Amino acid sequence: MAGVKLLGLWYSPFSHRVEWALKIKGVEYEFIEEDLQNKSSLLLQSNPVHKKIPVLFHNGKPIAESMVILEYIDEAFEGPSILPKDPYDRAIARFWAKFLEDKVPAVGKSFFLKGEEQEKGKEEAYEMLKILDNEVKDKKFFTGDKIGLADIAANFVGLWLGVFEEASGLVLVTREKFPNFCAWRDEYINCNQNKKYLPPRDELVAHFKARFQAAAAAAAAAAAAAPK
Amino acid sequence: MAGVKLLGLWYSPFSHRVEWALKIKGVEYEFIEEDLQNKSSLLLQSNPVHKKIPVLFHNGKPIAESMVILEYIDEAFEGPSILPKDPYDRAIARFWAKFLEDKVPAVGKSFFLKGEEQEKGKEEAYEMLKILDNEVKDKKFFTGDKIGLADIAANFVGLWLGVFEEASGLVLVTREKFPNFCAWRDEYINCNQNKKYLPPRDELVAHFKARFQAAAAAAAAAAAAAPK
């Protein structure tokens, strides 16, 4: 398997982080859509520990974990750099990338939950948003005027979170509560540096609307089948 | 605040990762012991997001998160490198460092829990150990013959896990179940490359024995005070 291939899911923010980095670098790649309902032997063999996308293949060798892949892409390919040059700025970018990486899964999952579990997820989301709202005050991007590692890691809060809100009807972000975050998000979605890399919002909304409806129907069926 | 200072806890594996990296690089540093019962203003100001140790200060500028600090130390200081040179080897080291970073807190916490919650923690620990047992088969260290990022990240499973077992009486690791892991751990603790950097085991055992006893006493007192 020569060249560069990416095993991913078109609607996944984790997968999209990698595509974004490859596009910044100008790397040609083949995208292979994974089927989570019937995981491919390629996925199971190339990421046996987590069995999760994305997996990047470069000259046949697999690399898993989106943030690990971003660092690899920055080091292995020529082109505009994804991390800043200065070690301290790099540390700050990595700190925020890790913060987002750690917080995003629980926040994303909370949209699929109900009742008490969802309330817990919402609390976590508010806590994350409060911290981000404070951090992005008067900032164009996380580390400087150029999209970098932390901004790519922030794609869930930049685009997917709003998609999840629209598709589910559950609204977490308001301009009153998180004014700086909203200003940053507007810039993030609309600036020319990002616009060309973000996936089509309407297609994401349609996809997740169907997912949320299916999850709600499954939960209702399980409740109806439960012993009374 | 000139030079290099580390805000940490002598018994913390996260804090110790940073000390280890500084020692590999031959960097002189001042260690400042934090008081978790009464967090210092230095900690609250330098790591307002997480309010956790370790925090490294270099020329007065703070960096938080042990794995972020390790990358910084490798980039900011001369001396033996902590990450391999080759981008693919670096990705593998980062993959395992992230795996350990993600799994260790839940495993460590499970020693402080009881009943069903502890059983859940034990399951997670067994799953982690099974993966590690498979990975370290016939390997001296995680990436090659030299201590690196992943090995430093593995300090909890290399030393602290055994300390927790001895101090708590709860044994998770047996040679029958995890023979490769045990062989790796013997080498990890006893090889000359590591020996000089690891903290004294007997002091750690005494510290955590007292902690586990205090946690058990607090749980017993809470149970006795609960309405019958």
- Over the stretch A117-174, which tens digit does the pLDDT of each residue have? 889 889 999 999 999 999 998 887 877 777 899 999 999 999 999 999 999 999 999 9
Residues B152 and B67 sit within 8 Å (Cβ to Cβ): no
Task: Indicate the burial class of B185 (C-beta count within 10 angstroms; 0-12, 13-18, 19 or more).
Answer: buried
In the block, tokens 């200003």 appear at A183
Residues B167 and B212 sit within 8 Å (Cβ to Cβ): yes
Report the alpha-carbon distance of residue A110 to residue B34 in Å, rounded: 35
% of chain A residues with pLDDT over 70: 99
Contact residues for A101 (Cβ-Cβ < 8 A; gap 6+)? A66, A67, A153
Q: Does pLDDT of A207 surpass 80?
A: yes
Report the alpha-carbon distance of residue A180 to residue A176 in Å, rounded: 10
Per-residue pLDDT at A1:
52
Residues of chain B with pLDDT under 50: none
Question: Measured between CB atoms, does A99 come within 8 Å of chain B?
Answer: yes
Per-residue pLDDT at A222:
85
Residues of A in contact with B65 (CB under 8 A): 94-95, 98
Spacing of C-alpha B34 from chain mean position: 17
Q: With bands split at pLDDT 50, 70 and 90, how would you rate the model's confidence at A2?
A: low
- Find the radius of gyration of the CA atoms of chain A: 18
Per-residue pLDDT at A114:
84
Amino acid letter, B142: F
| Alpha-helical regions (H) of B41-195 | 41-46, 66-76, 87-110, 115-135, 149-153, 155, 161-168, 179-190, 192-195
Residues A111 and A156 sit within 8 Å (Cβ to Cβ): no
Q: With bands split at pLDDT 50, 70 and 90, how would you rate the model's confidence at A64?
A: very high
Interface test with A, best of B27, B74, B95, B135 (most A CBs within 10 A): B95
Shortest alpha-carbon distance between residue A40 and chain B (Å): 20
Per-residue pLDDT at B222:
85
Contact residues for B225 (Cβ-Cβ < 8 A; gap 6+)? none
Residues of A in contact with B61 (CB under 8 A): 88
Paired residues of A131 in beta bridges: none
DSSP secondary structure string for all residues of B144-182: BSS--HHHHHTHIIIIIHHHHHHHHS-----TTT-HHHH
Per-residue pLDDT at B2:
59
Q: Which of A63, A76, A131 sits opposite B49 (nearest CB)?
A: A131
Tokens of B196: 């000089």
Question: Measured between CB atoms, does B49 come within 8 Å of chain A?
Answer: yes
Amino acid letter, A8: G
User: Is residue A7 helix, strand or coil?
Assistant: strand
Q: Give ipTM to 2 decimals.
A: 0.93
What is the reported pTM?
0.94
- Find the radius of gyration of the CA atoms of chain B: 18
Q: Which of A103-117, A214-228, B160-174 has the highest mean pLDDT?
A: B160-174
Does residue A54 have a cis bond before it (omega within 30 degrees)? yes
Per-residue pLDDT at B143:
76
Residues B142 and B148 sit within 8 Å (Cβ to Cβ): yes
Average pLDDT over residues A14-34: 96
Per-residue pLDDT at B69:
98
CA-nearest residue to B94 within chain A is A68
Of A136-145, A196-205, A207-216, minimum mean pLDDT range: A136-145
Pairing of strands B30-33, A55-58: unpaired
Average pLDDT over residues A106-120: 87
Q: Which residue has the higher pLDDT, A47 or B196?
A: A47
Report the alpha-carbon distance of residue B167 to residue B208 in Å, rounded: 6
Tokens of B135: 């990975």
CB atoms within 10 A of CB A123: 11
Q: Which of A68, A94, A131 sits opposite B68 (nearest CB)?
A: A94
Pairing of strands A4-8, B61-64: unpaired
Show the domains of chain A with their CATH numbers: 4-76 (3.40.30.10), 87-213 (1.20.1050.10)
Task: Work out the angle at residue A199's Cα, subtended by the Cα atoms of residues A194 and A203, and round it to the nearest 5 degrees.
Answer: 145
B217-227 in b/e form (b: 16+ CB < 10 A) is eeeeeeeeeee
The secondary structure of residue A144, as a DSSP letter, is B
- The rounded mean pLDDT for chain A is 92
Shortest alpha-carbon distance between residue B206 and chain A (Å): 32
Residues of B in contact with A88 (CB under 8 A): 58, 61, 63, 72, 76
Shortest alpha-carbon distance between residue B58 and chain A (Å): 9
The secondary structure of residue A141, as a DSSP letter, is B
